[in-house]
């Protein structure tokens, strides 16, 4: 299986776009993927770019993943430099 970041033009495009995002916009980008049932190389590149941006910005995302994967099961909020699960009561 190939790494979605190696030589992937989509990954590069997403990274360039996300470079201009604020941290809040990056969280919105992540939350936009929650509940999305589709999967493919474009989405894998998008997810890899989100994870790379979180790493680059030193945002702790341990509540939703690790250096190999992210879980798109729950929406998150940013508290300082840490992502935490959004409360179930908020939609």
The pLDDT tens digits of the residues spanning 11-39 come to 999 999 999 999 999 999 999 999 888 88
* Residue 43 scores a pLDDT above 60: yes
pLDDT confidence of 90, banded at 50, 70, 90? Answer: very low
Tally Cβ neighbours within 10 Å of residue 74: 14
């Amino acid at each position: 299986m190939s790494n979605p970041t190696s030589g992937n033009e989509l990954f590069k495009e997403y990274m360039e776009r996300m470079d201009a995002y604020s941290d809040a916009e990056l969280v919105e980008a992540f939350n936009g993927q929650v509940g999305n049932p589709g999967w493919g190389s474009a989405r894998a590149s998008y997810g890899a770019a989100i994870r790379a941006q979180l790493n680059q910005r030193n945002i702790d995302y341990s509540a939703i993943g690790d250096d190999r994967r992210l879980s798109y099961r729950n929406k998150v909020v940013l508290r300082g430099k840490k992502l935490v699960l959004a409360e179930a009561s908020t939609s």
